[in-house]
Amino acid sequence: MRAEIISIGSEITTGQNLDTNCQWLSLRLAELGVSVAFHTTVADDLADNIAAFRIASERVDLVLTTGGLGPTQDDLTREALASVAGVPLQEDAQSLAHIRAMFAARNREMPERNRVQALMPAGSEVLFNARGTAPGVWMKINRAYFAAMPGVPSEMFTMFTEQVVPRMRAAGLLGQGSVILQRKINCFGAGESVIEEKVLDLTRRGHVPEVGITVSDAVISLRIFGRGPTQADALAQIAPVEATIRQRLGDLVYGVDDEELQQVVERLLRQRGLTLATAESVTGGLVAHRLTSVPGASEVFRGGIVAYTNPAKVQLLGVPAALIETHGAVSSQVAEAMAQGARQRLGSDLAVSTTGLAGPGTEGEKPVGLVYVGLAWAEGVRSLAINWGGTRAEILSRSAKSALNAVRLFLLNG
Amino acid sequence: MRAEIISIGSEITTGQNLDTNCQWLSLRLAELGVSVAFHTTVADDLADNIAAFRIASERVDLVLTTGGLGPTQDDLTREALASVAGVPLQEDAQSLAHIRAMFAARNREMPERNRVQALMPAGSEVLFNARGTAPGVWMKINRAYFAAMPGVPSEMFTMFTEQVVPRMRAAGLLGQGSVILQRKINCFGAGESVIEEKVLDLTRRGHVPEVGITVSDAVISLRIFGRGPTQADALAQIAPVEATIRQRLGDLVYGVDDEELQQVVERLLRQRGLTLATAESVTGGLVAHRLTSVPGASEVFRGGIVAYTNPAKVQLLGVPAALIETHGAVSSQVAEAMAQGARQRLGSDLAVSTTGLAGPGTEGEKPVGLVYVGLAWAEGVRSLAINWGGTRAEILSRSAKSALNAVRLFLLNG
């Protein structure tokens, strides 16, 4: 049982877009015990699409394609599938009704050209698209089952999970190879080498299970790869190593897999029945944005103030103008006053603040990357200073993480 | 003249690593006037490598491979190349000396297993590796020139630039086709099919220059691909088509290439000497974050208030509680009152607000995806309603774009 993933689009072959669908699908197939032999990317060219589909139909058992299902003349997947299978395209009435309904839901009439999205190769099954207009296609060509899905990631994710996996199961395509499961342990608050030194024996080549270390935007992740005939075997390999890592790294570990600092912070707030507010200067709304990106944030997040200028710090947060004059806006004193001001004005239990320099270019003698995070609660206030490196975008993102992490550590340890 | 890029490694086909080499090479080839027809990724399997190389050797003129040149048993590129070419592997004395010297420079002796890195298919040329131990391979198989390079990005970048490009030139693979330059025209405020209908004659297959249409997070981009013997020729092809597109799409076009709405908004504010403030409910700080992600934002952005709860709307923005009770927090009336409140409290010339439902799950009878954007200025206030589809993250991102776009259109047209 081998699979191939085919990504379709000149925006990928010309390098304009980076294809991430392929990686997502590869991870899902690995979890399902399906081995991926090839990824192929093909430009928006009918002859090349036909050639790629034909090769795949003869060398693997499952082909997952993404892209080429839109309504434009560059969208050739339907036509290429029909050509390789040697069947005509036929309009599917149900799909057409769904496309019309999607437009109607947005108070628009379906443009005539979207009608082509309802064309299906004869003998194929429609893969319902819960999130967009383009239906997918499920059909067998030569030795391979094909699942043709849209290139829009959110549409593809849902279609793969809800429509393709059940059909793979029904066709007997699951659970034949060895399952690979990953567990990602995410850490924040120390550098890569500090963390790596604590787990050197686990990350060495040949260790079973394999443990890798990656860094992304100041988050250090340890990935444990469990392998075995079943998911239970793979999980059993992972569990003791995860326990060792957690024991060694303590509260440097904030979460697992795709968990983010804001989710952990909100979970802790909810557990303790506390609310949070933000006062942001350097991060300019990013801390609030991350907090509100979590569904249900309004239960624990009161709101925030983006005080990007000194007058705004004085007027909206009640920071004494004299404090700014004496210590500068980028100072622990101002960070603490901002947090206190936000806590009071928003009536929250806790408030966190940021003030710093993200560059490019310096202002005065303080270095770009210097950021103060303030934290205010009923009984007190404190602050910490961090020096971040990187571009402006990196400094902003990492400073927002420092603010969230300060709240997390306060909630854990007081 | 067509090229194929082959990435080798099970860490890519299993989804553990995201392949970015391929995108980098695609962009370089486009700049050199070489068209990329296929990307292929193949696992560390000898038979699959041989099959992929054979297919490529028969369908394109240039094959760039990355990976599989290390010293382990998983590194199969040398062997696969020799097999497809039908030649033996031979040790290259100079390469062996270089590998030994690389280890010596780090005060280490060369492990015996690294010796395999000096094996070259008979009749091939060595591609010198200035940054690592693995030499690359240059050879012709069937109709195609192959350049086999390491997978480590820094080693590959240098080898491609210093070793491969001169050989491509010598082999007559450059400048036969043409230079390809891209111009991306970015639009916001209408759907893909609405925009495509206005430029159907330009996006049709066979139009010179080629015009493609892509959608990313509600931004519709028209990409013009200029081709010609020189960059000047390519640019001359682009200019009149860009002018036509701008004339037809009017203020749907907000920028070019990587330009984002917040950059355009801040440029317009600066040109007109105006300042902006934000009042965010549904977007929870994202509009402020995007505005402050632009260097120098403090010249035109006063700050903002994230009023995520109804009490915050009342206390921080002065929205009358009765207004919220009568019309609901998600209403044009509340959007307008929020914008007026932010404008007054932050002392800005303009203020923009958002209120809406991002889901998941509905509250009351208003649908998820319904968002109101309010805009206040010295002489008045107005609002618009938008129905966004998609996930919570997509609704938040698109709503923030709607808010920025409302400011842009006001600054352009009043």
Whether residue B59 and residue A36 make contact (CB cut-off 8 A), yes or no, is no
Which residues, including other chains, have CB under 8 Å from residue A398's CB and lie 6 or more apart? A217, A218, A386, A388, A390
Nearest CB to A10: which of B25, B212, B311?
B212
Contact A345 B316 (CB under 8 A): yes
* A322-350 confidence digits (pLDDT tens): 999 999 999 999 999 999 999 999 999 99
Contact between B370 and B385 (Cβ < 8 Å): yes
User: Using one digit for the tens of pLDDT, what is the confidence trace for B306-326?
Assistant: 998 999 999 999 999 999 999
Residue B281's pLDDT band (cuts 50, 70, 90): very high
Task: Return all residues near B236 (Cβ < 8 A) that are at least 6 apart.
Answer: B226, B228
In this structure, which amino acid lies at residue B326? T
- pLDDT band per the 50, 70, 90 thresholds, residue A176: low
> Sign (positive/negative) of CA torsion A143, A148, A154, A158?
negative
ipTM of the complex: 0.76
Residue B5: pLDDT over 90: yes
Q: How confident is the model at residue B205 (pLDDT cuts 50, 70, 90)?
A: confident
Q: Does the pLDDT at position B94 exceed 80?
A: yes
- Examine the pLDDT at B177 and tell me if it is beyond 70: no
- Coil, helix or strand for B41? strand
How many whole angstroms separate alpha carbon B275 and alpha carbon B265?
Answer: 10
Taking CB atoms and an 8 Å cut-off, how many pairs form between chains A and B? 281
Determine which of A56-60, B97-101, B240-244, B398-402 has the lowest per-residue pLDDT on average. Answer: B97-101
C-alpha torsion sign, points A216, B390, B365, B399: positive
Of B30, B38, B391, the CB nearest to A14: B30
pLDDT tens for residues B116-162?
Answer: 999 999 999 999 999 888 899 999 999 999 999 999 898 999 999 99
Q: CA torsion angle for A193, A355, B400, A218 (degrees, to 10)? A: 0
> In this predicted structure, what is the pLDDT of residue A24?
95
From B83's Cα to the closest Cα of chain A, the distance in A is 19
Pairing of strands A62-66, A144-149: parallel
Note the pLDDT of residue A316: 94
A230 has a pLDDT exceeding 90: no
Residue of B nearest to A307 (CA): B303
Tokens of A267: 């979970």
What is the C-alpha separation between B159 and B136, in angstroms, rounded?
Answer: 8
H/E run at residue B176: none
- Which chain A residues have a beta carbon less than 8 Å from that of B22? 15, 41
Quick one: pLDDT band at residue A401, thresholds 50, 70, 90?
very high
B23–A18 CB contact, under 8 Å: yes
- The mean of the pLDDT values for chain B is 93
**In this model, does residue A178 exceed pLDDT 80?**
no
Using an 8 Å CB-CB cutoff, list chain B residues near A308.
288, 292, 297-298, 301-304
Q: Tell me, what's the pLDDT at A196?
A: 86
Min Cα distance A360 → chain B (Å) is 7
Which pLDDT does position A25 carry in this prediction?
97
Per-residue pLDDT at B295 exceeds 90:
yes
Give mean pLDDT, residues A112-137.
94
Higher pLDDT, A38 or B10: A38
- How confident is the model over A277-286, as pLDDT tens digits? 999 999 999 9
Q: For residue B29, which residues of chain A lie inside 8 Å, CB to CB? A: 15
Question: Tokens in use for A393?
Answer: 């975008």
Smallest Cβ–Cβ distance between A15 and the set B30, B298, B394 belongs to B30
The secondary element (H helix, E strand) that includes residue B67 is none
Q: How far apart are CA B283 and CA B294, in angstroms?
A: 18
Rounded to whole angstroms, what are the CA distances from B12 to A144, A205, A334, B351? 22, 18, 48, 47
With bands split at pLDDT 50, 70 and 90, how would you rate the model's confidence at A175? low
pLDDT band with cut points at 50, 70 and 90 for residue A177: low
* Amino acid occupying residue A287: V
Does A287 sit within 8 Å of B204, measured CB to CB? no
Q: Are A125 and A139 in contact (CB under 8 A)?
A: yes
Instruction: Identify which of A65, A266, A299 has the alpha carbon closest to the alpha carbon of residue A164.
Output: A65
C-beta atoms of B288 and A292 within 8 A: no
- The pLDDT tens digits for A188-208 are 999 888 898 899 899 887 889
Is the model's pLDDT at B204 over the cut of 70? yes
Q: What pTM value is reported for the model?
A: 0.78
Question: Cα dist. B349→A73, A124, A144, A306, B160 in Å?
Answer: 45, 58, 62, 17, 52
Secondary element (H or E) of residue B368:
none
Q: What is the mean pLDDT of residues A159-166?
A: 96
- Asked whether the predicted pLDDT for residue A105 surpasses 90, the reply is no
Whether residue B280 contacts residue B303, with contact meaning beta carbons closer than 8 Å, is answered with no
